[in-house]
Amino acid sequence: MSVKIALAGNPNCGKTTLFNALTGSNQFVGNWPGVTVEKKEGKLKGHKDVIIMDLPGIYSLSPYTLEEVVARNYLINERPDAIINIVDGTNIERNLYLSTQIMELGIPVIMAINMMDLVEKSGDKIHIDKLKKKLGCEVVEISALKGTGIQKAAEKAVTLAESKKNVTPVHEFQEDVEAAIHAVEERLGSSVPESQKRFFAIKLLEKDDKIIEQMTNVPDVSREIKALEDKFDDDTESIITNERYVYISSIIGVCCTKNKTKKLTTSDKIDRVVTNRWLALPIFAVVMWLVYYVSVTTVGGWATDWANDGVFGDGWHLFGIGTSSYEDAAADYSRADQIVAAVDEDGNVTSVDIVDDEDKVIETVKISDSVVADAEKVVEAGEPDPAEYGVWVPGVPVIIESGLDAIGCAGWLKGLILDGIVAGVGAVLGFVPQMLVLFIFLAFLEACGYMARVAFIMDRIFRKFGLSGKSFIPMLIGTGCGVPGIMASRTIENDRDRKMTIMTTTFIPCGAKLPIIALIAGALFNGASWVAPSAYFVGIAAIICSGIILKKTKLFAGDPAPFVMELPAYHMPTVSNVLRSMWERAWSFIKKAGTIILLSTIVLWFLMNFGWVDGSFGMLEAEQLNDSILSKIGSFIAPIFTPLGWGDWKMAVAAVTGLIAKENVVGTFGVLFGFAEVAEDGNEVWGQLAGSMTQIAAYSFLVFNLLCAPCFAAMGAIKREMNNTRWFWTAIGYQCGLAYVVSLCIYQLGTLFTGGGFGIGTVVAILLVIGFIYLLVRPYKESTTLNVGVKATK
C-alpha cells in the first residue's frame, strides 16, 4: 500500500515550491474530478511508494471558495496518511487559523514553518520547541526556496504516516463553546468516524450546508446553536472564529518574539512605488511592454521566424554558417534579374531602380552594355541554392516530401500529409518558441511576487464593471494566446466571476488575429494607422460592456467577491521553478492546441479538395474550387452574413475556417482567390479582396472575427474550464451573438451614415442599439446596497 501525504497551506506560503522540490519531475497534473481546480500529485524523491498531493492554496476549511471545498472534501473523504501543513513564518498568526482546523480532522500533522531565513533576517524569533508543545504536533523549520529542512520534514511525515497513530487536537475553546461541541459530538453517533467528530460538530454549529451533504444522519443542533448565540450575542460562526483567534493569540504571545525596532522591509519600500495610486499603471504598462517586446518582437520573434522558415520551412544553415554568403549571392541575383527584366521591357532604359523585398529603392544602376552582359550571366547561372552554402539542414516539410516522392506516394495522400498534417502541426509548433519566451517572463513575474500586485492594482478598475482584479491576469495572458489566457482563469475563486472572465477573455485580440487586422487595414483602408488600435479598443469595450450587462442577469447577479489576496515578499525565484512553470504551460499548449488544430486542418483540406463534378465525387483540380464541398457549405451559410455586408460564400468560408485557427482567415483568402500561398500580411490578395467588399463591410468582417467564438483550441480550453456543456454553449453563443449584433450595427448604420439606403436592416440595427443602451444603463436589481471593500494582506 502506498503512503499518501497531503500538502496544505495558505496561498503564497511556498507550498508549490516545496511540492516541486520534494517530487522533482515525478509529477502528474490534472483536474480534480468534476471541477476545474488544478490537481497536482507526485512521488516523493527516493520513495516510490510515497505519493505527495499538492492541495489548492486556501485560508480555511470553510466552503467560501471552490478551492476550499475541494481541499476539504479530499481531506475528509480520501483521508491521507499524513498532512504537511506549510506555514509562512513571516505571517504565522494568520496562517495558524487554517492550522487549527487541519488538526481537528484527526489526521497526523507535521507543521513546516517556511521562510525561516526571512524570519531571522527581520530579527524575529519563533521558538519551535514551545510551538510544538502548544500545538501538540511535530514542528520543523524549512526554507522551500533554498531547499533547507525539506527532506527532514518529508521523512518525519513518512514516519508519522506509517505509524498510523490516532491524533487528538490539544487546543480547546472557552468552556461554554467546548460544552456545545461535546454535546453535538455525542449526538453524531456512528455516522461519523470517531477521529472526525470534533470537525463535523464544529461545522454543524457553524451552519455549514455543504458538510451536511456529506452526512447520512444529521442531528438537530438548533438547541446548541441558540444557546451559544444567546450567550455570546453573536452568530455561531463568528463565535468559533473568535475562539480560534483567541487561542492563536495565546500561542503567539508565548512562542514568537517580534523585533520591535523593525524597519521597512525591501518589499515594503518597493511597494511604495509599484503600488502607488499614480505610478502603478504606468510602471505596469512599461513592464508588460518590455515583456511582449522581447517575447514577440525580438528574442521570441527571431526564434519563431527560425522555426517557421527553417524547421517548418525550406531549412536553415547549421549554426548560421554560409548564411551571409548565400544572402549576398541572392541579393546579386535579385539585382541582376531586375536589370534584365527592365531592359527586356524597355530596350531604351538608361537606369534601373533596384528595390528590396519591401519595394524600397536601395540602388540606382546606370545601364550599359557591360552591366547588362554581366547581369545576363548571373541570371543564366540560375537562382542560388542555399544548400550550396555552408551546411544546409532541410526543413521537416522538405524531408517528408522527399520521402513521399521516393516511395511514389499517391498525389492525394501526399497533399493530405503535407498540406494537412504537416502544415497543421507546423502552424502550432511554429509559435512555440515565442510562447516559451513569453511564459518564462510570466513565470518569473508570478514567482517573484509582482503579478499579485498587478491584480491588486487592477481591482480598482475592474470592480467598476463587475469583475475583480484577478480577472485581469487571464486577459493579459490572452493577448499572446487565448488558450493559456482561459486556463489562467483558474486563479479566480468566485465561480461567477471565473465564468464571466472565461466568456470575455478572448475579446482581447490575440497574436493569431493580428494577420486579419493587417489584411483588412492594408487591403481596404490603404494601411490606415487607426485600424489596428481600434481593434484593441473594440475588444476592451466588449469586455467592459459585457461585464456591465452580464452582472445584471440572474446567471451573474451579485457584486464581485471581496478581493483578499496575499502580497508575498519580493524574492528571486529559482531557475528550476521558472523553467518548470514555463514547460507546464508550453506542453499544455502543444498537446491540446496541436491536437485540435491538426484534426481540424485535415478536415479543412478534405473539404477544399474534394467535391462533385459531372455527377461523380472525387479530388478536384485547382480551377474547380467552386465545385468543392467547402464551396457548397459556404453558399449555404453565406445568406446568414448578408445583413453584415459580406454575404459572398468566400467571406463566409473564411470566417468559419477562422474558428479552426484565426490565422486560417488570411490563408483561406489566398486559396479562395486563386493563390496557393500568401504572405502573412496578405499582399497578394489585396487587389481582389478590395474589390469584393466596401470599407464598412470590411470593418464589420474584422469586428466579427475579433469578437466571435475563438479558435478550436481556445474553445477546447473553454470547454475544459467550464466543465459543463450548458455553460460552454452559453459562452460560445454569447460570443457569436455579440459579434453578430455589433457587426450588423456597424455595417447597417455605417452604410446609412455614408449615404446608403434606409431599409429593414437599418431598423433592426437601430432597435439593437437602443436595446444595448438599455441593458447598459438599467439599474442593478440585486446587491445594490452591499459595499465590498478591497483588502491586501502582507
Q: In the prediction, which pLDDT does 296 show?
A: 60
Does 12 appear as a known binding residue?
yes
Q: In the prediction, which pLDDT does 424 show?
A: 62
Distance CA 592, CA 595 (A): 5
Length of the chain in residues, anyone?
A: 794
Given a contact cutoff of 8 angstroms between Cβ atoms, the answer to whether 324 and 334 are in contact is no
Q: How confident is the model at residue 559 (pLDDT cuts 50, 70, 90)?
A: low
Among 1-15, 345-359, 509-523, the minimum mean pLDDT is found in 509-523
Given a contact cutoff of 8 angstroms between Cβ atoms, the answer to whether 243 and 173 are in contact is yes
Q: How confident is the model at residue 587 (pLDDT cuts 50, 70, 90)?
A: confident
- What mean pLDDT comes out for the span 520-533? 72
Distance CA 572, CA 578 (A): 10
**And the C-alpha cell for 280?**
502603478
Neighbours of 537 (CB within 10 A): 10
**And the C-alpha cell for 359?**
519595394
Does 314 appear as a known binding residue?
no
Question: 79 or 266: which carries more pLDDT confidence?
Answer: 79
Q: Which helix (H) or strand (E) holds 50?
A: strand 50-54
Distance CA 481, CA 592 (A): 13
Among 397-401, 503-507, 533-537, the minimum mean pLDDT is found in 533-537
Q: In the prediction, which pLDDT does 672 show?
A: 62
What's the pLDDT tens digit per position in 444-497? 887 788 877 877 777 777 776 666 666 776 776 676 677 767 876 766 767 788
Question: 82 or 564: which carries more pLDDT confidence?
Answer: 82
CA atoms within 13 A on the CB side of 263: 3
Given a contact cutoff of 8 angstroms between Cβ atoms, the answer to whether 438 and 295 are in contact is yes
**And the C-alpha cell for 139?**
514542528
Question: 106 or 434: which carries more pLDDT confidence?
Answer: 106
Question: 620 or 672: which carries more pLDDT confidence?
Answer: 620
Q: In the prediction, which pLDDT does 442 show?
A: 78
Distance CA 226, CA 211 (A): 20
At residue 689, does pLDDT exceed 70?
A: no
- What mean pLDDT comes out for the span 750-775? 85
Closest by Cα among 421, 707, 652 to 669: 652
Q: How confident is the model at residue 86 (pLDDT cuts 50, 70, 90)?
A: very high
Q: What residue has cell string 526543413?
A: 395
Beta bridge partners of 41: 28, 53
Distance CA 242, CA 238 (A): 6
Amino acid identity of residue 601, one-letter, is T
Percentage of the chain modeled with pLDDT above 90: 14
At residue 783, does pLDDT exceed 50?
A: no
Does 147 appear as a known binding residue?
no
Q: In the prediction, which pLDDT does 666 show?
A: 67
Query: What do you get for the CA distance between the two ends of the chain, in Å?
Result: 41
Does 23 appear as a known binding residue?
yes
Q: Which helix (H) or strand (E) holds 458?
A: helix 450-462
Distance CA 114, CA 420 (A): 52
Does 57 appear as a known binding residue?
yes
Does 542 appear as a known binding residue?
no
Distance CA 24, CA 22 (A): 6
- What mean pLDDT comes out for the span 19-33? 71
Does 259 appear as a known binding residue?
no
At residue 94, does pLDDT exceed 60?
A: yes
At residue 443, does pLDDT exceed 50?
A: yes
Residue 585 main-chain phi, psi, to 5 deg: -70, -45
Does 24 appear as a known binding residue?
yes
- What mean pLDDT comes out for the span 249-256? 89
- What mean pLDDT comes out for the span 748-769? 85
Does 554 appear as a known binding residue?
no
At residue 261, does pLDDT exceed 80?
A: no
Distance CA 229, CA 199 (A): 19
- What mean pLDDT comes out for the span 673-695? 55
DSSP assigned state of 794: -
Contacting residues for 720 by C-beta, under 8 A, at least 6 apart: 31, 36
Given a contact cutoff of 8 angstroms between Cβ atoms, the answer to whether 26 and 100 are in contact is no
Neighbours of 127 (CB within 10 A): 14
Q: Which helix (H) or strand (E) holds 610?
A: strand 610-613
Given a contact cutoff of 8 angstroms between Cβ atoms, the answer to whether 386 and 394 are in contact is no
Does 578 appear as a known binding residue?
no
Contacting residues for 627 by C-beta, under 8 A, at least 6 apart: 611, 612, 613, 620
Q: How confident is the model at residue 99 (pLDDT cuts 50, 70, 90)?
A: very high
Closest by Cα among 52, 50, 73 to 61: 73
Q: In the prediction, which pLDDT does 566 show?
A: 61
Beta bridge partners of 660: none
Question: 667 or 548: which carries more pLDDT confidence?
Answer: 548
Distance of alpha carbon 674 from the chain centroid = 37
What's the pLDDT tens digit per position in 328-368? 998 999 999 988 888 888 878 888 888 886 678 888 888 88
Among 89-93, 191-195, 383-387, 600-604, the minimum mean pLDDT is found in 600-604
Q: In the prediction, which pLDDT does 789 show?
A: 40
Q: In the prediction, which pLDDT does 742 show?
A: 92
Q: In the prediction, which pLDDT does 518 show?
A: 67
Does 95 appear as a known binding residue?
no
Q: In the prediction, which pLDDT does 47 show?
A: 87
- What mean pLDDT comes out for the span 572-586? 79
Closest by Cα among 789, 787, 248, 790 to 565: 790
Task: Specify the pTM.
Answer: 0.65
Question: 666 or 636: which carries more pLDDT confidence?
Answer: 636
**And the C-alpha cell for 75?**
481531506
CA atoms within 13 A on the CB side of 287: 17
Among 49-63, 331-345, 599-613, the minimum mean pLDDT is found in 599-613
Q: In the prediction, which pLDDT does 679 show?
A: 40
Q: How confident is the model at residue 793 (pLDDT cuts 50, 70, 90)?
A: very low
Q: In the prediction, which pLDDT does 784 show?
A: 40
Does 785 appear as a known binding residue?
no
Does 298 appear as a known binding residue?
no
Distance CA 567, CA 53 (A): 25
At the top level of CATH, which class does the domain 175-257 belong to? Answer: mainly alpha
Given a contact cutoff of 8 angstroms between Cβ atoms, the answer to whether 131 and 120 are in contact is no
Closest by Cα among 705, 639, 625 to 673: 625
Amino acid identity of residue 162, one-letter, is E
Closest by Cα among 737, 743, 742, 669 to 709: 737
DSSP assigned state of 680: T
Average pLDDT, the chain: 80
Question: 62 or 151: which carries more pLDDT confidence?
Answer: 151
Distance CA 487, CA 270 (A): 30
At residue 683, does pLDDT exceed 60?
A: no
Q: Can you give the residue ranges of every domain in the chain?
A: 3-163, 175-257, 300-432
Q: How confident is the model at residue 790 (pLDDT cuts 50, 70, 90)?
A: very low
Closest by Cα among 596, 601, 586, 301 to 422: 601
Does 684 appear as a known binding residue?
no
Does 16 appear as a known binding residue?
yes
Question: 514 or 695: which carries more pLDDT confidence?
Answer: 695
- Sequential DSSP letters for 475-505: HHHHTT-HHHHHHGGGG--SHHHHHHHHHHH
Contacting residues for 464 by C-beta, under 8 A, at least 6 apart: none
In CATH, which superfamily holds the domain spanning 3-163?
P-loop containing nucleotide triphosphate hydrolases (3.40.50.300)
Question: 656 or 81: which carries more pLDDT confidence?
Answer: 81
Q: How confident is the model at residue 788 (pLDDT cuts 50, 70, 90)?
A: very low
Q: In the prediction, which pLDDT does 676 show?
A: 38
Does 149 appear as a known binding residue?
no
- What mean pLDDT comes out for the span 688-717? 82
Q: In the prediction, which pLDDT does 112 show?
A: 94
Distance CA 790, CA 385 (A): 64
Beta bridge partners of 366: 351
Does 558 appear as a known binding residue?
no
Neighbours of 212 (CB within 10 A): 12
Q: How confident is the model at residue 52 (pLDDT cuts 50, 70, 90)?
A: very high
Does 614 appear as a known binding residue?
no
Does 209 appear as a known binding residue?
no
- What mean pLDDT comes out for the span 542-560? 77
What is the β-pairing status of strands 109-114 and 125-126? unpaired
At residue 32, does pLDDT exceed 60?
A: no
At residue 265, does pLDDT exceed 70?
A: yes
Q: How confident is the model at residue 791 (pLDDT cuts 50, 70, 90)?
A: very low
Q: Give CA separation, 536 vs 488, 516, 729, 733, in Å.
A: 20, 13, 25, 22
Contacting residues for 665 by C-beta, under 8 A, at least 6 apart: 515, 516, 519, 654, 655, 657, 658, 705
Q: How confident is the model at residue 181 (pLDDT cuts 50, 70, 90)?
A: very high
Contacting residues for 538 by C-beta, under 8 A, at least 6 apart: 703, 706, 707, 742
What is the β-pairing status of strands 351-355 and 361-366? antiparallel
Does 53 appear as a known binding residue?
no
Q: What residue has cell string 487561542?
A: 247
Does 114 appear as a known binding residue?
yes
Q: What residue has cell string 499518501?
A: 4
What's the pLDDT tens digit per position in 311-336? 877 888 888 888 888 889 989 999 99
Residue 523 main-chain phi, psi, to 5 deg: -80, -40
Given a contact cutoff of 8 angstroms between Cβ atoms, the answer to whether 215 and 209 are in contact is no
Distance CA 445, CA 437 (A): 13
Amino acid identity of residue 753, one-letter, is F
Q: How confident is the model at residue 53 (pLDDT cuts 50, 70, 90)?
A: very high
